[in-house]
């Protein structure tokens, strides 16, 4: 779009062709930006030659372009960076040591000479919002040289360690790529100690149980569980989430994200929309990771506030179907919306899920968001034994998936009124392949191994 501005006071001779006149115009300007790719900046003041069409971007045009890119990239501003330094009373050099971003970069960002990337902006805003997150990072980076070297004794496991080893689902950890394949108890012991950075398997057990105790975990109480296997599953998820950069946790943003997430429930292929689901949650301050379920863990999902500015949801994809993917995800979001207010806060263990009020509240919240209770009631009154096509039509009318409607309908009826076998036959109850679950698990394992280098 071109819009010539007739202001001869701003005109000057063209230095390129030396014949024409550089005239002030307002046009859309195409540019490239990191994290954004090709960007069209609207209504930029430029000077264009009326003879050779040469274009010059002056100071005013450069400022307009920078302001637009800052806005759409959500780059942290020099004012915010200064607020970060002032809040914690640190110098640019100290900020560089703590964050690892380099003193020259921080100086350039502070003076507005360089635009921080989206990930850098998100990290700094998280630290600005959360003193706890800042103190954790400061302690980790400033005390790095003081940390003693981990020494793992190369030996066979003792009797107590053999018992701990018997509860570990080593096969799944091998499939994820977290440990190397082995039948040797000695090698298994060494691999697990290296992974958990513990001198012995008692230390591994302590880390695993600590991870479980700090999570709000969605477990099947009718199934056998042990705290080591369940805790390892939680620990892997938490470690994977640590390398994911999120915007500061915000319940209002999460509530808005839920509305958009519900739109995605209409898709048959969950795998295709997982990147969009992760991004919606990331913007609300939640890291979503997937860890394949382990033997005797009986967990479907879990969540916690890692810091006041960051939450994690670990999803196990236990039943590998469309409906459970969404119901478990919304259940964990329900805990974040209703119950978890402090970093590390957990929901105490329970013998029967039906006996825990908060679990029931999370279930009701999740099901109500996926299929509104009043809409489900009206459908139930009209169709107490609905056919597949009726379920499909109802799901379409409320913009969700028939599989979700069927599960929530059957739960309310307390029996399988809508037969899942018929839904599968009519391709209305999509599943997730075991291979896809393993693929998602390997991504989480890579995050655990590489950490901040991912």
- Residue 385 is classified by DSSP as S
Does pLDDT of 16 surpass 80?
no
C-alpha–C-alpha distance, residues 200 and 151, integer Å: 9
pLDDT (0 to 100) of residue 144:
46
Higher pLDDT, 253 or 225: 253
Ranges of each domain in the chain:
2-73, 78-146, 161-369+435-453, 371-431
Cβ-based burial of 245 (10 A; exposed 0-12, middle 13-18, buried ≥19): middle
Does pLDDT of 245 surpass 70?
yes
pLDDT (0 to 100) of residue 72:
66
Higher pLDDT, 356 or 192: 192
Share of the chain above pLDDT 90, in %: 42
Is residue 447 within 8 Å of 243, Cβ to Cβ?
yes
**For the packed helices 78-88 and 103-111, what is the interaxial angle rounded to 10 degrees?**
120
pLDDT (0 to 100) of residue 6:
46
pLDDT (0 to 100) of residue 148:
55
Length of the chain, please?
454
Give the pLDDT mean for 358-373.
Answer: 92
Q: Do domains 2-73 and 371-431 have the same CATH topology?
A: no
Confidence class of residue 193 from pLDDT cuts 50, 70 and 90?
very high
Give the pLDDT mean for 236-246.
Answer: 90
Task: Kindly report which listed range (56-65, 242-251, 321-330, 370-379) carries the lowest average pLDDT score.
Answer: 56-65
The residues near 439 (Cβ < 8 Å, ≥ 6 apart) are none
Helix (H) or strand (E) segment spanning residue 359: helix 357-370
**For the packed helices 357-370 and 402-413, what is the interaxial angle rounded to 10 degrees?**
140
Does pLDDT of 4 surpass 80?
no
The residues near 303 (Cβ < 8 Å, ≥ 6 apart) are 215, 216, 311, 312, 313, 314, 332, 333, 335, 336, 340
110-130: pLDDT as tens digits:
887 777 877 778 778 888 888
pLDDT (0 to 100) of residue 135:
81
Domain 371-431: give its CATH code. Answer: 1.10.10
Is residue 453 within 8 Å of 242, Cβ to Cβ?
no
pLDDT (0 to 100) of residue 444:
87
Q: For 268-419, where are the E strands, in sequence order?
A: 286-290, 299-307, 310-315
Task: Kindly report which listed range (24-28, 100-104, 280-284, 320-324) carries the lowest average pLDDT score.
Answer: 100-104
315-328: pLDDT as tens digits:
998 888 999 999 99
pTM over 0.75: no
Is residue 292 within 8 Å of 436, Cβ to Cβ?
no
Confidence class of residue 353 from pLDDT cuts 50, 70 and 90?
low
Share of the chain above pLDDT 70, in %: 87
Confidence class of residue 9 from pLDDT cuts 50, 70 and 90?
low
Work out the mean pLDDT of the chain and round it to a whole number: 84
Does pLDDT of 452 surpass 70?
no
Confidence class of residue 107 from pLDDT cuts 50, 70 and 90?
confident
| CATH number assigned to the domain with residue range 2-73, chosen from the 4 options 3.40.50.620, 3.30.830.10, 1.10.10.10, 3.10.20.860 | 3.10.20.860
Does pLDDT of 147 surpass 50?
no
Give the pLDDT mean for 246-268.
Answer: 93
Give the pLDDT mean for 19-39.
Answer: 77
């Amino acid at each position: 779009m071109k819009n010539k501005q007739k202001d001869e006071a701003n005109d000057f001779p063209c230095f390129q062709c030396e014949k024409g006149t550089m005239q002030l115009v307002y046009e859309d300007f195409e540019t490239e930006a990191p994290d954004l790719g090709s960007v069209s900046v609207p209504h930029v003041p430029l000077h264009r030659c009326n003879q050779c069409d040469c274009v010059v971007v002056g100071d005013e045009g450069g400022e307009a372009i920078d302001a637009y890119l800052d806005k759409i990239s959500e780059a942290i501003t020099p004012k915010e960076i200064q607020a970060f330094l002032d809040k914690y009373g640190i110098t640019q050099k100290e900020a560089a040591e703590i964050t690892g971003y380099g003193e020259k970069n921080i100086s350039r960002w502070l003076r507005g000479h360089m635009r921080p990337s989206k990930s850098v902006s998100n990290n700094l805003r998280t630290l600005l919002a959360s003193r706890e997150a800042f103190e954790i990072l400061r302690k980790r980076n400033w005390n790095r040289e003081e940390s003693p070297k981990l020494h793992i004794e190369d030996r066979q496991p003792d009797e107590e360690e053999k018992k701990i080893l018997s509860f570990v689902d080593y096969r799944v950890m091998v499939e994820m790529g977290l440990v190397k394949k082995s039948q040797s108890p000695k090698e298994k012991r060494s691999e697990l100690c290296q992974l958990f950075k513990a001198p012995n398997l008692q230390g591994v057990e302590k880390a695993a149980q600590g991870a479980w105790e700090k999570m709000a975990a969605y477990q099947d109480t009718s199934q056998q569980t042990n705290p080591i296997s369940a805790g390892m599953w939680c620990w892997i998820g938490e470690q994977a989430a640590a390398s994911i950069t999120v915007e500061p946790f915000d319940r209002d943003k999460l509530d808005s994200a839920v509305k958009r997430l519900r739109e995605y429930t209409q898709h048959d292929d969950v795998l295709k929309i997982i990147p969009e689901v992760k991004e919606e949650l990331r913007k609300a301050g939640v890291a979503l990771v997937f860890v394949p379920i382990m033997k005797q863990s009986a967990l479907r999902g879990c969540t916690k506030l890692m810091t006041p500015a960051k939450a994690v949801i670990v999803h196990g994809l236990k039943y590998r179907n469309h409906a459970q993917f969404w119901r478990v995800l919304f259940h964990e979001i329900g805990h974040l919306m209703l119950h978890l207010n402090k970093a590390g806060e957990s929901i105490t263990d329970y013998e029967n899920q039906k006996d825990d009020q908060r679990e029931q509240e999370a279930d009701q919240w999740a099901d109500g968001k996926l299929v509104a209770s009043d809409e489900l009631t009206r459908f139930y009154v009209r169709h107490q034994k609905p056919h597949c096509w009726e379920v499909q039509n109802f799901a379409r009318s409320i913009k969700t998936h028939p599989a979700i409607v069927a599960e929530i309908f059957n739960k309310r009826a307390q029996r399988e009124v809508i037969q899942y076998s018929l839904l599968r036959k009519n391709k209305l109850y999509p599943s997730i392949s075991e291979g896809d679950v393993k693929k998602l698990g390997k991504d989480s394992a890579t995050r655990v191994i590489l950490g901040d280098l991912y």
